[in-house]
Amino acid sequence: MKKRIINWGILSTAKIGWEHVIPAIKKSKNSQVIALASRNLSRATALTKKFKIPKSYGSYKELYEDKDVDVIYNPLPNHLHIKSSIEACKNKKNLLLEKPLSLKSKDIDPLIKIASQNKVIVKEAFMVRHHPQWRWVKEYIKSGKIGSISSISTVFSYNNKNPKNIRNIKKFGGGAIYDIGCYPTVISRFLLDKEPKRVIATSKNDKKFKTDILSSALLDFGDTFSTFTVATQSTYSQQVVILGTKKTVVIENPFNAIANKPTTVVIYNGKSIYRKDNTIKVFPATDQYEHQVTKFSNELIYKTKIDYGLLDAKKNMKVLDAIFMSIKKKKWIKI
């Protein structure tokens, strides 16, 4: 029996698609890219030639209606996610949709409904959940070796002052919280396997862009606090520190793990703060985008349990809703 290969279509010529996702699909043993669509046919054709993709389309509608496509990867700007995904679902296309799924949690409801009606799978593209280092950290926490988790602290920042970049355009869903603040919320929920009860947050906006360029939040999970600072006009940095009652775990490259470079997790023993005195666990170079693609395709091929579907995406969006509300009202917001 010939092994089934899942056919992927790419919606738009967004950088994340050709830089990370298309190469990941091409490396995956159970997936292949067969089509790419752009509103500009010449751009689509240029990429299909570069990556040897069979079909190029000059409209999104053509990709939605391609009967050979099983899954569409959707990296359109944030404000277009829901509308474009609903159209894809109407054509019975499964979807891997870039984060954040929407700009408001309530906007996800129509997508949940149409996906259910058409019996398709829609998932939010948090590739980090598929990296072996995160899977290992979650199991390490479950083992009890870290003790009880007191806090999870995240810093994630970069420097982007380009006024034409969608991350700096408010109406497109730009800003630090939408772009990278969704990572600390999702990894905290992933590691703790529960939802925060309340949140308090603050932010600083760019005077010209009107988007948040520096934001901090505290998520109260009951016995555990999760704090984060995200910034779009600071130095490039990222780190996650998980403080336990017995040990501390530091993930040194938590989010943008490069496919051809190893990653490290440091387990501090509670006796010395010097890195060299503690356990350094090295994870071989691997492509977290490939893991994400392969997992999704396997769920379609073998009809296995779906990890992190639309309901999970809505829960994460509810946390972001509360963060924005807290910033506006300057107080704790219950979730």
Both 121 and 253 in one domain: the answer is no
pLDDT at position 237, please? Answer: 98
Both 232 and 170 in one domain: the answer is yes
What is the reported pTM?
Answer: 0.95
Q: Is 67 exposed, middle or buried (0-12, 13-18, 19+ CB in 10 A)?
A: exposed
CA angle 151, 153, 155 (to 5 degrees): 175
pLDDT of 286 above 60: yes
Q: Which of 187, 174, 262 is nearest to 215 (CA)?
A: 174
- Residue 189 structural domain: 128-287+317-334
pLDDT in tens, 291-334: 999 999 999 999 888 889 999 999 999 999 999 999 999 999 99
CA–CA distance, 1 with 236 (Å, rounded to integer): 49
Q: Give the count of domains, the chain.
A: 2
Among candidate residues 99, 125, 151, the one where a domain is terminated: 125
Among candidate residues 81, 97, 125, the one where a domain is terminated: 125
Both 272 and 326 in one domain: the answer is yes
Mean per-residue pLDDT of the chain: 97
The answer to whether residue 97 sits within a structural domain is: yes
**Secondary structure of residue 332 in the 3-state scheme:** coil
pLDDT of 247 above 70: yes
pLDDT of 79 above 50: yes
Both 107 and 119 in one domain: the answer is yes
CATH of the domain at 59: 3.40.50.720
Q: Is 62 exposed, middle or buried (0-12, 13-18, 19+ CB in 10 A)?
A: middle
The answer to whether residue 310 sits within a structural domain is: no
Radius of gyration of the chain (CA): 20
Both 137 and 276 in one domain: the answer is yes
Contact 62, 37 (CB under 8 A): yes
Both 156 and 11 in one domain: the answer is no
Decide the pairing of beta strands 6-11 and 225-231: unpaired
115: left (phi over 0), alpha (psi -120 to 50) or beta: alpha
